Structure 1
Amino acid sequence: MKWTEQHIPRQDGRVAVITGANTGLGFETAKRLAERGAAVVLAVRDTEKGELAAARIDGDVSVRELDLTSLDSVRTAAAGLRATHPRIDLLINNAGVMYTQKQTTRDGFELQFGTNHLGHFAFTGLLLDLMLPVPGSRVVTVSSTGHRIRAAIHFDDLQWERSYGRAAAYGQSKLANLMFTYELQRRLAAHGTTTAVAAHPGVSNTELIRNSPPIARGLITWLAPVITQTAAAGALPTLRAATDPSVLGGQYYGPDGLAEVRGHPRLVTSSPDSYDLAVQQRLWAVSEDLTGVRFPVGRAVAVA
């Protein structure tokens, strides 16, 4: 079966919070969920752009300010959501930056690791207790095929203070997204209501490439008709991970085409490194220490 947007079930009565939803993959995800009846919250850094995006979506759509580069903003956004939404059915950790020059977040974290992983780690932890009582609730985190490229969790230099490579730093952040998903799912298993799932969009034609080196950006733009798909198509793996009733916790969805570059969403596998339990658990502990956020779920259940 080729899974398409037509397979998205009705979402009436469900609340979906989507980070980075004013453009690209996040916007397309929000649009489809709202069309199916979900109450959608666009959690975005620029609320003016968020309001413009919300105006282009038919349905119940609201905007919440969220700057993932600031833990203060993450805490404020989570507190605001807690005040207005007694339950959350879908949390889609979509926002991200890619191939940025060396920069740090407001809290001193390397920008890609701080935004893509630590910001979402903290945001999820601060909202998870609103999801645990909700049957069928899901945390969906968007990773990338970039998690395979020069990717490792560099515990000896997580913030790239000694040396910096934009592709390797991006790979680390996307690998962290997957490891976070797998560890979170094991911790959720004992609760039996909420699940954690990951997805990746293949190579989609979005604004995410804007920080790539000029030569790479030009090459991608030139080859776009062959090697990329639209943002609407790139959002489908996320939408399947979020809504397909057959999805199981701990799964990973991506395009079914050659090298998972484009195509219809299907179940895929991540790199061997991503399944390293010891590294997952160490990353979790380090992420708790760095963000100061503790999750309302205990240690993962033992795996035989």
Structure 2
Amino acid sequence: MWLSSKGFKTLLAEPESQSIIFSLVNFLVLIYVLFFLLTWPYTLFALIAHVAVFTVVIKRLSAGRLYTPKKNLKNQTVVITGAATGIGRVTVVELAKLEALVIVGIRGQERAEGVAQELSNESHGNVIGHHLDLSDLSSINAFAKKIDKVDILINNAGVSKRKKELTRDGLECTFGTNHIGHFYLTQLLLPLLIQSNGRIINVSSIMHVTVAYSRSKLANILYAAELQRRYGDRGIKAYSLHPGFIPATEISREKKTFEAIFNILFGVCSKTIEQGAMTTMYCALSDEAQPGKYHSNCQVAQPTPVANNSKKAQELWELSERILNEKNKISLKFFHR
């Protein structure tokens, strides 16, 4: 089954889903009015008025709750992955505007430095770029060694591969990059995060309700919950979130024709990139965000039952440790003791 009944309820709670329902109902109403109630030229006036009102309402409805950060982040350091485009890029700009030092992890040192310079100019802030390939454990290790302070870690990067691909370390690419890569990076930076009573934000997705791309996105939610359980008493605050449906992202590049058409239709009811970054900012800065919980639409949300399964979260943690122990020949169990 592609989507469980509880997963369907989770999906319906999203502003974009409600926008689609609103759009369909309004389309049917418009057809009825134009063809059965009005005659020319009143049909033209009705159509123009309806489209104008519909556009305003649908965009506000799909935007959902908004969050405007007011904190000053001077002397704080934020590390974020996948910041070259999309919500990651917008998040960097907003954090840099708040005077944080933002370190971005992007594939290719030259590209990372170039993007960091662009973001510094755009935000009039301080952004530093380092090479980071989350599908390569040695690259993650090298990146972490360059970090000497971190107050907020945002695990934002994500990939979705249609064909089976392996990482450099022999892991399935989507799971290896989206979860194992971020798990390893977080473990390496954990001593610094404990020292600063830092926040860890895992950018997941509503797609954790499905059975394809879901495994890595479900892992993001479970990992945040288990991080909070294990390290919450040491000052760590871990969050997971769904940013909203945003067609213009790196992940949407590998869509099939049918899904591409669906995305165009869905795009009418989707969030902008700026709106999509708001829940990330909310989890990174708001005192109302709840550690260990899944968030959507700038508030705590209810994920699927499996995403709330503490036993699954522990099992995932242990599996992730075993994978890294095997690949790196080190024991992470004693890494932070």
In 2, Cα distance between equivalents of 1:46 and 1:244: 32
- Which of 280, 294, 297 is equivalent to 2:332? 294
- The aligned residue for residue 271 of structure 2 is 229
Q: Decide whether the 8 Å contact of 1:8 with 1:239 is kept in 2.
A: no
- The aligned residue for residue 254 of structure 1 is 296
Q: Decide whether the 8 Å contact of 2:67 with 2:279 is kept in 1.
A: no
- The aligned residue for residue 244 of structure 1 is 286
- The aligned residue for residue 205 of structure 2 is 144
Q: Decide whether the 8 Å contact of 2:133 with 2:140 is kept in 1.
A: yes
Return the offset for 1:190.
2.2
SS of alignment partner, residue 250 of structure 1: coil
Matches for 1:118-267 after TM superposition, within 5 Å: 118-135=180-197, 137-150=198-211, 168=212, 170-191=213-234, 193-205=235-247, 206-226=249-269, 228-255=270-297, 265-267=298-300
In 1, Cα distance between equivalents of 2:100 and 2:261: 38
Return the offset for 1:16.
0.1
Listed one character per residue, the Cα deviations across residues 83-137 of structure 1 (whole Å, up to 9, x for unaligned) are xx2x2100000000024321111111111100000000000000110110113x1
Structure 2: gaps spanning 5 or more residues:
1-63, 326-330
Q: Decide whether the 8 Å contact of 2:166 with 2:172 is kept in 1.
A: yes
Moved more, 113-122 or 275-284: 275-284
Q: Decide whether the 8 Å contact of 1:187 with 1:297 is kept in 2.
A: no
- Which of 93, 104, 109 is equivalent to 1:31? 93
Q: Decide whether the 8 Å contact of 1:18 with 1:43 is kept in 2.
A: yes
CA change 1:189–1:68 in 2 (3 A) is same
SS of alignment partner, residue 194 of structure 2: coil
More helix by share: 2
- The aligned residue for residue 161 of structure 1 is none
- Report the count of equivalent residues: 263
In 1, Cα distance between equivalents of 2:68 and 2:238: 23
Identical aligned residues as a percent: 34
In 2, Cα distance between equivalents of 1:112 and 1:36: 33
Return the offset for 1:276.
1.4
SS of alignment partner, residue 132 of structure 1: helix
Return the offset for 1:248.
2.6
Q: Decide whether the 8 Å contact of 2:237 with 2:291 is kept in 1.
A: yes
SS of alignment partner, residue 68 of structure 2: helix
In 1, Cα distance between equivalents of 2:114 and 2:241: 26
Q: Which amino acid aligns with 1:41?
A: I
In 2, Cα distance between equivalents of 1:4 and 1:223: 20
Q: Decide whether the 8 Å contact of 1:143 with 1:177 is kept in 2.
A: yes
- Which of 268, 284, 287 is equivalent to 2:317? 284
2:51 maps to 1:9: no
Return the offset for 1:266.
1.8
SS of alignment partner, residue 56 of structure 1: helix
CA change 1:249–1:67 in 2 (3 A) is same
SS of alignment partner, residue 332 of structure 2: coil
2:286 maps to 1:269: no
Return the offset for 1:297.
5.5
Return the offset for 1:222.
4.1
SS of alignment partner, residue 190 of structure 2: helix
Return the offset for 1:172.
0.6
Q: Which amino acid aligns with 1:107?
A: D
CA change 1:224–1:194 in 2 (3 A) is same
In 1, Cα distance between equivalents of 2:70 and 2:114: 25
2:110 maps to 1:67: no
Listed one character per residue, the Cα deviations across residues 183-211 of structure 1 (whole Å, up to 9, x for unaligned) are 110001221x2211111111013232001
SS of alignment partner, residue 196 of structure 1: strand
Q: CA RMSD in A?
A: 1.7
